[in-house]
Amino acid sequence: MNVSEIMTREVVALRPESNLREAIAVIQKFRIRHIPVVENGKLEGIVTDRDIKRATPSLHGGVSQEDYERVLNDTRLFQVMTRDPLSVPPDASLKSVAKILVDKKYGALPVVADGVLVGIVSDIDLLRVLHDML
């Protein structure tokens, strides 16, 4: 079995110029934890819910509502994303993907063919396969 058989093909992606507010909206709306960052179809980076949490100030830490809103609106994804993330081709084996996710402690990997983002595979996708096997 390979990645193309289990990956999510309809990937929700944002552009490097998108802001934290847009990323938070996508995470909440689609209930996802990883957002590929794409420019002209080319994978530029990936931003996770953890990246966003680290970049967002806490209102409980004495930050004013105005400063909080400013950070959400003014911080661009290219400032907080992981650039040139590790990716896999659609024909990668599930075993190789599982090894990468475990060894690197990643939650997801973009799937790229001929330089273009074609999907994303996550730890949850692999758990679904395992569940079906049991």
Please give the share of the chain, as a percent, with pLDDT higher than 70. Answer: 100
Whether pLDDT at 12 is above 90: yes
The predicted pLDDT at position 126 comes to 95
The predicted pLDDT at position 102 comes to 96
DSSP state of 93: B
Whether pLDDT at 58 is above 90: no
Whether pLDDT at 134 is above 90: no
Per-residue pLDDT, averaged over 104-110, amounts to 97
Q: How far is CA 67 from CA 56, 59, 61, 77, 90, in A?
A: 10, 9, 12, 18, 42
Beta strands in the chain (DSSP E): 34-39, 42-48, 82-83, 108-113, 116-122
**Per-domain residue ranges for the chain?**
3-133
The predicted pLDDT at position 87 comes to 97
User: The domain 3-133 is classified under which CATH number: 3.40.1280.10, 3.10.580.10, 3.50.50.60, 3.20.10.10?
Assistant: 3.10.580.10
Cα-to-chain-centroid distance, residue 37: 8
Per-residue pLDDT, averaged over 31-60, amounts to 94
The predicted pLDDT at position 107 comes to 96
Per-residue pLDDT, averaged over 47-63, amounts to 90
Which pLDDT band, with edges at 50, 70 and 90, does 94 fall under? very high
Q: Tell me the per-residue pLDDT of 66-78, one tens digit each, with 9 for 90 and over.
A: 999 999 999 999 9
Q: Tell me the per-residue pLDDT of 23-45, one tens digit each, with 9 for 90 and over.
A: 999 999 999 999 999 999 899 99
